[in-house]
Amino acid sequence: MLDGDLVKAGAVESCADACCGSAPSVLTLTPERAALIEQAFRFEWMTVAWMVIEGAVAIISGVAASSLTLMAFGLDSVIELASTGVLIWRLTVELRHGQAFSERAERTASRIGGALLFALAAYIVAGAACSLWAQRGEAFSFPGLIVALLAMPIMTVLARRKIVIATQLGSRAMRADAAESIICGWLSLVVVVGLLADYVLGAWWVDAVTALAIVWFVVKEGREAWSGGHCCGHD
């Protein structure tokens, strides 16, 4: 019998059986799914490269300018790096061990992604509250403005591609990672608005208010990632 026939004749365990506690078997990847995973890897490593640059510039600029939005922007970059690392691990599990084994990694990665989003939401709320209480906003930061302007198109493209691949793979973990990219894009817009408003109008409170404007989205995506880590839970 040919190798291809052996693969086709191999026992394939369903997702439902894997979640019901039976021993998982290796679900051989189709060429189409393997190609999707390879695409996902490329976008995740592109994300890593940009997040390192974005995070370093945003955090250094945020500390220098006492900017909540820049600090949140930089912290989001760190969180997205962690989220990307978790997703790379989840994709590696599937490539090495098959789709059935990846179900456990999917649930773990999805919950970690949700927890990271909740952590970001908590930081934004706490930081905004402190800023409004102290009635102190940010100082203008030219490096922060440049990195935020660059982040908007970069993260928009990455987020769109990740959502398409997440839908095709049926991966909530990758959807959570895509949500991080979307949040990064929105935060970059918030940073630009806050910096320009403070520079042009002297509106110290814009920094905190604009940061709070995205909390609802962060929490929403965090809840979906946390509760969506069930067997076969595709979007």
Quick: pLDDT tens for 197-221.
777 877 777 767 777 877 887 787 7
Q: What does each C-alpha distance from 39 to 42, 102, 169, 234 come to in angstroms?
A: 5, 17, 11, 19
pLDDT bin (cut points 50, 70, 90) of residue 129 is confident
- Whether 16 shows a pLDDT value over 50: the answer reads no
Helix (H) or strand (E) holding 158: helix 142-169
What is the pLDDT, as a whole number, of residue 93? 78
Q: Which of 23-27, 50-54, 113-117, 202-206 has the highest mean pLDDT?
A: 50-54
Query: Which two three-digit tokens encode residue 19?
Result: 């979640």
Q: Is the pTM of this model over 0.85?
A: no
Nearest Cα to Cα of residue 75 among 57, 55, 61, 95:
55
The answer as to CATH 3.90.180.10 being correct for domain 31-227 is no
Phi and psi, residue 107, nearest 5°: -65, -45
The packing angle between helices 68-97 and 142-169, to 10°, is 30
Question: 145-162, pLDDT tens digit by residue?
Answer: 899 999 999 989 999 999
pLDDT bin (cut points 50, 70, 90) of residue 138 is low
Domain locations along the chain: 31-227
pLDDT bin (cut points 50, 70, 90) of residue 100 is low
Nearest Cα to Cα of residue 73 among 195, 221, 199:
195
- Whether 232 shows a pLDDT value over 70: the answer reads no
Helix (H) or strand (E) holding 53: helix 31-65
- Whether 127 shows a pLDDT value over 80: the answer reads no
Q: Which residue spans within 4-145 are E strands per DSSP?
A: none
Nearest 5°: the CA angle 177, 115, 155 is 25
* Mean pLDDT of the residues in the chain: 75
